[in-house]
């Protein structure tokens, strides 16, 4: 009978082998999650459901994207594969940022991105001051960092980074109920996929 350690190892190896780019120019290519790292990459089913919803209403072609708490870079890389013009990855852990760069290198993605190796709370004011406006913003902090998730949404709710047509997507535990409003941002949809919840925000709750 397999022990708990054995199960954990199987799960970790499964993630390492099974993470892939779902669509676009890098479709089917593997992404490394890193053995033994404290990472919770967005599952392919969750990622697929999210991008299906986004692309049913919007195009990712030539868009500008923020990938906050980026980890392996799975969400931002998926956006690049589907035609995003520029992705800003923000990841504070050096080993995770190194893995993110390795994933970009292995996919031969040589431009259209910027990896900021700093805390999200430090990176956002710098990006805000640059007068950039994102079309999509993904934030996927570790599930236990609820305060960081809420503070990030509060900042984005009053930031120039988020325009009238921007969409902000926060991944969280399905049992955790994020607020309905953060400044100008209003949640217009919540999706549950397995253990994950996805809350989608915009300046208008009329988005469907």
pLDDT of 177: 87
The pLDDT value given to residue 204 = 74
- Write down the pTM of the prediction: 0.86
Question: How much of the chain, in percent, has pLDDT values that exceed 90?
Answer: 68
Q: Which residue has the higher pLDDT, 193 or 100?
A: 100
pLDDT at 13: 34
- Residue 65: strand, helix, or coil: strand
| Ordered domains of the chain (ranges, CATH) | 4-202 (3.40.50.150)
Beta bridge partners of residue 201, listed in sequence order = 168, 187
Q: Across residues 42-67, what is the average pLDDT?
A: 89
* Helix locations, the chain, DSSP H: 4-18, 44-57, 74-81, 94-106, 120-129, 146-156
Q: In this structure, are residues 170 and 190 in contact, taking their beta carbons and an 8 Å threshold? A: no
Contacts of residue 22, Cβ cutoff 8 Å, sequence gap at least 6: 44, 47, 48, 51, 78
What was the pLDDT predicted at 143? 83
């Amino acid at each position: 009978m397999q022990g708990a350690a054995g199960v954990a190892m199987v799960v970790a190896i499964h993630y390492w082998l099974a993470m892939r780019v779902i669509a676009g120019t890098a479709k089917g290519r593997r992404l490394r999650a890193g053995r033994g790292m404290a990472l919770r990459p967005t599952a392919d089913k969750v990622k697929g459901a999210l991008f299906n919803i986004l692309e049913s209403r919007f195009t990712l072609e030539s868009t500008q994207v923020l990938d906050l708490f980026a980890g392996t870079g799975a969400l931002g890389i998926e956006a690049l594969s589907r035609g995003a013009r520029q992705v800003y990855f923000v990841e504070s852990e050096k080993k995770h940022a190194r893995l993110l760069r390795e994933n970009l290198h292995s996919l031969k993605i040589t431009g259209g991105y910027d990896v900021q190796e700093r805390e999200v709370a430090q990176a956002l004011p710098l990006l805000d001051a640059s007068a950039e406006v994102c079309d999509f913003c993904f934030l996927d902090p570790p599930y236990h960092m609820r305060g960081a998730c809420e503070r990030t949404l509060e900042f984005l709710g009053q930031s120039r980074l988020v325009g009238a047509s921007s969409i902000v997507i926060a991944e969280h535990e399905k049992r955790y109920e994020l607020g309905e409003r953060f400044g100008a941002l209003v949640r217009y949809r919540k999706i549950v996929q397995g253990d994950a919840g996805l809350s989608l925000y915009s300046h208008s709750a009329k988005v469907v």
